[in-house]
Amino acid sequence: MGIRINDIAPDFTADSTAGTIHFHEWLADGYAIVFSHPRDFTPVCTTEFGAVAQLAPEFAKRKTKVIGVSVDSVEDHGKWKRDIEAFAGAPADFPIIDDTSLTVAKAYDMLPAEYYLPAEGRTPANTATVRTVYIIGPDKKVRLTMTYPMSVGRNFAEILRALDAVQATDGVPFATPANWVPGQDVIVALSVPTEDAKAKYGELDIKLPYLRFAKRPV
Ligand code: BEZ
């Protein structure tokens, strides 16, 4: 069974480019994004990490920490960071976990169906993690998961948009419609009677009895 929405994100201790990480301690009580990639020094992964490096101010604005994972070593991650910065023009200042032991990959179900573990001579090529993303809430519960195949680079603008939607709906009776972006109206949860919603959120835009939009309180 993989990681499910609302599971507590598995805890682990691992080496990283920022030293030893005790994951739950590192999370503290904020939002975090964990994302894996297959291998260091590969083309798609370099564009992805470059995209995350460029978005660092956006993650900071959302008080969200970011951490990368692959089955490569801290030494490789450190060298690869230089390539990422040269490509993206922004430093990859977030930690990247050394998961040569596969501890994190297994705990988070980041390995593809065909992975195999030769008794000897295992290389990252045997066990490359796929492109997973986990958004974790301040309560350490998994809010969102996403898995892309090796051949498809992720859209980090969408990950940022999904983070905005998660933060906009956490602990309030709202949901976001398809393609929502910040500034647009949100959907009032079915659990809230219309009169109560009007009293609390003002005028509603009622498209259907069960599809009621409200301005998001600021
Ligand atoms: C990549 O381009 O990210 C990639 C290429 C081959 C294997 C794994 C990743």
Among 35, 150, 152, which residue has the most ligand 1 atoms within 8 Å of its CB, making it the best to mutate?
A: 150
CA proximity to 52, closest of 91, 83, 98, 105: 91
Determine if ligand 1 sits within 6 Å of the CB of residue 45: yes
Residues in a beta bridge with 62: none
Q: What is the pLDDT of residue 122?
A: 65
Over residues 210-214, the mean pLDDT reads 98
> Is the pLDDT assigned to residue 34 strictly greater than 90?
yes
Domains and CATH numbers, the chain: 13-154 (3.40.30.10), 174-214 (no CATH)
Active site residues: 45
pLDDT digits (tens, 9 = 90+) for 178-207: 999 999 999 999 999 999 999 999 999 999
Share of residues in the chain with pLDDT > 70 (%): 94
Among 36, 39, 114, which residue has the most ligand 1 atoms within 8 Å of its CB, making it the best to mutate?
A: 39
Distance between CA 64 and CA 166 in Å, rounded? 12
